[in-house]
């Protein structure tokens, strides 16, 4: 009873932030985009943030959005989905206003152990999925839980399809998320928070758990993102961090064959034949130059696949031509995407928060949906509070005025 009371008291010290951290593993679940856990969390964080309307950014977003639609209407045959384009532009505006605002709730008692426990749960779940997969047991969340339940890329959809046709299935673990890279993005969020709200061994434990989850899921985006954010956080102790990071990376690369659902994936990435890496890195950079040269105000994202297929720049397939959300501002708004991108990074308030936002946006091609807005806003709000009490001479959060942080 004493333990339960202590846990309850710890949770009630900062219930909104703690509750949202616990909800991250289920953030993709819901009936549809608007009737979902992500939408509920978005309303909660918007209501509990004193948002600041940014006049310059607001005018620029409206101008870029309008010019993109006008250019498409006049010069291109495609008809964009106007409601979705409005939603994406509104998401960008809300992200600007949320990042410029201040939380109405008290984050000084946030406990860094909550994201650490969630990280541990995700890592254990991914390991259990990998081990179960080798025994032919599918420990994947039912596709009916996800907002995009008709997406054929969901793990449960692949398993069902394989069983229906009587052949073996081989799928990378993703914990409770729709794809392994989303697990990498969630681990990045939790690790970023833990780095600023824990200290000593617990910091390294959080980073280790994030890297283990990403290694088991074979998401190289997650591995690289977590290593970068950890190295930048510990930049004052770079020699030690570099050695530890290289050691972790070597161990993880050696451990990949144990959990490998795609045995040749590392070779495919290094040779440039990996589809996921191509959609996130190679293909976007190949397309961005052509688009900026021919469509100065961009192409709305809802017609971009048709546009690139008509010009013979991508092979016809159902997915989008790019999965790099940090470049989507340039695809959607052309040259006006550059000032918008710079303003968005500056709105984060610090270099490491800007780097975190950049890495999180790169996770997939939907950086302005409810789930991404919630995760980046919550993480940056918590980290700003932690950094406001961080001693200038160290990379660790101060404990004197950070009552919720557990000492190592």
Mean pLDDT within 316-332: 70
Mean pLDDT within 96-119: 94
The answer to whether residue 389 scores a pLDDT higher than 80 is no
Place 387 in a pLDDT band, splitting at 50, 70 and 90.
confident
Residues in the chain: 408
**Tens digit of pLDDT for each residue in 179-216?**
888 999 999 999 999 999 998 899 999 999 999 999 99
Mean pLDDT within 106-116: 93
Least confident of 99-113, 189-203, 291-305, 333-347: 291-305
Contacts 24+ apart (CB under 8 A), 317-321: 318/152, 319/153, 319/279, 320/279, 320/365, 321/279, 321/283, 321/284, 321/287
**Tens digit of pLDDT for each residue in 38-90?**
999 999 999 999 999 999 999 999 999 999 999 988 888 778 888 989 999 99
> How far apart (Å, rounded) are the C-alpha atoms in residues 241 and 246?
8
Largest distance between two CA atoms of the chain: 69
Distance of CA 100 to the CA centre of its chain: 20
SS3 29: strand
Domain ranges of the chain: 12-262+275-388
DSSP for 122-162 reads HHHHHHHHHHHHHTT------GGGBTTTT-TTSHHHHHHHH
Q: Tell me the whole-structure pTM to 2 decimals.
A: 0.85
Mean pLDDT within 332-354: 92
- Contact call for residues 230 and 195 (beta carbons, < 8 A): yes
The residue among 171, 182, 107 whose CA lies nearest residue 140 is 171
**Tens digit of pLDDT for each residue in 228-246?**
899 889 876 555 555 455 5
Alpha-helical (H) ranges within 234-279 are 238-259, 265-271, 275-277
- CB-based contacts of 61: which residues, under 8 Å, 6+ apart? 89, 92, 93, 96, 340
Backbone angles phi, psi at 116, to 5 degrees: -65, -40
pLDDT reported for residue 74: 86
| CB neighbour class for 10 (10 Å; exposed up to 12, middle 13-18, buried from 19) | middle
- CB-based contacts of 228: which residues, under 8 Å, 6+ apart? 355, 359
**Tens digit of pLDDT for each residue in 115-172?**
999 999 999 999 999 898 888 777 888 888 999 877 766 766 656 655 655 555 668 8
Better pLDDT: 268 or 91: 91
> How far apart (Å, rounded) are the C-alpha atoms in residues 130 and 260?
8
**Tens digit of pLDDT for each residue in 258-307?**
444 454 544 444 444 555 555 666 667 778 888 888 889 998 888 888 88
């Amino acid at each position: 009873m004493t333990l339960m009371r202590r846990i309850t008291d710890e949770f009630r010290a900062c219930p909104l932030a703690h509750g949202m951290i616990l909800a991250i593993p289920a953030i993709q679940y819901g009936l549809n985009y608007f009737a979902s856990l992500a939408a509920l969390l978005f309303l909660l964080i918007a209501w509990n943030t004193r948002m600041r309307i940014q006049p310059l950014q607001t005018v620029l977003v409206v101008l870029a959005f309008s010019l993109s639609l006008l250019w498409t209407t006049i010069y291109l045959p495609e008809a964009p989905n106007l409601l979705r384009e409005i939603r994406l532009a509104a998401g960008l505006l809300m992200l600007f206003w949320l990042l410029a605002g201040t939380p109405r709730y008290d984050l000084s008692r946030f406990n860094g152990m909550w994201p650490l426990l969630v990280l541990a749960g995700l890592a254990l779940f991914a390991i259990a999925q990998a081990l179960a997969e080798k025994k032919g047991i599918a420990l994947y969340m039912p596709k009916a839980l996800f907002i995009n339940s008709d997406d054929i890329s969901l793990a449960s959809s692949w398993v069902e399809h394989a069983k229906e046709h009587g052949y073996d299935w081989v799928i990378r673990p993703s914990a409770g998320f729709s794809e392994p890279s989303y697990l990498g993005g969630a681990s990045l969020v939790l690790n970023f928070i833990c780095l600023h709200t824990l200290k000593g061994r617990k910091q390294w434990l959080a980073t280790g758990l994030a890297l283990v989850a990403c290694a088991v899921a074979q998401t190289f985006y997650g591995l690289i993102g977590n290593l970068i954010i950890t190295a930048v956080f510990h930049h004052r102790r770079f020699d030690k961090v570099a050695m530890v990071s290289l050691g972790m990376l070597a161990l993880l690369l050696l451990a990949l064959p144990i959990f490998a659902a795609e045995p040749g994936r590392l070779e495919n990435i290094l040779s440039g034949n990996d589809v996921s890496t191509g959609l996130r890195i190679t293909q976007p950079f190949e397309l961005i130059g052509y688009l900026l040269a021919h469509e100065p105000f961009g192409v709305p994202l809802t017609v971009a696949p048709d546009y690139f297929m008509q010009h013979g720049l991508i092979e016809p397939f159902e997915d989008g031509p790019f999965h790099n959300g940090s470049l989507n501002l340039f695809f959607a708004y052309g040259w006006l995407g550059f000032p918008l991108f710079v303003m968005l990074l500056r709105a984060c308030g610090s270099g490491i928060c800007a780097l975190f936002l950049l890495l999180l946006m790169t996770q997939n091609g939907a950086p302005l949906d409810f789930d991404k807005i919630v995760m980046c806003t919550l993480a940056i709000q918590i980290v700003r509070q932690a950094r406001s009490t961080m001693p200038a001479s160290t990379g660790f959060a101060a404990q004197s005025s950070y009552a919720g942080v557990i000492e190592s």
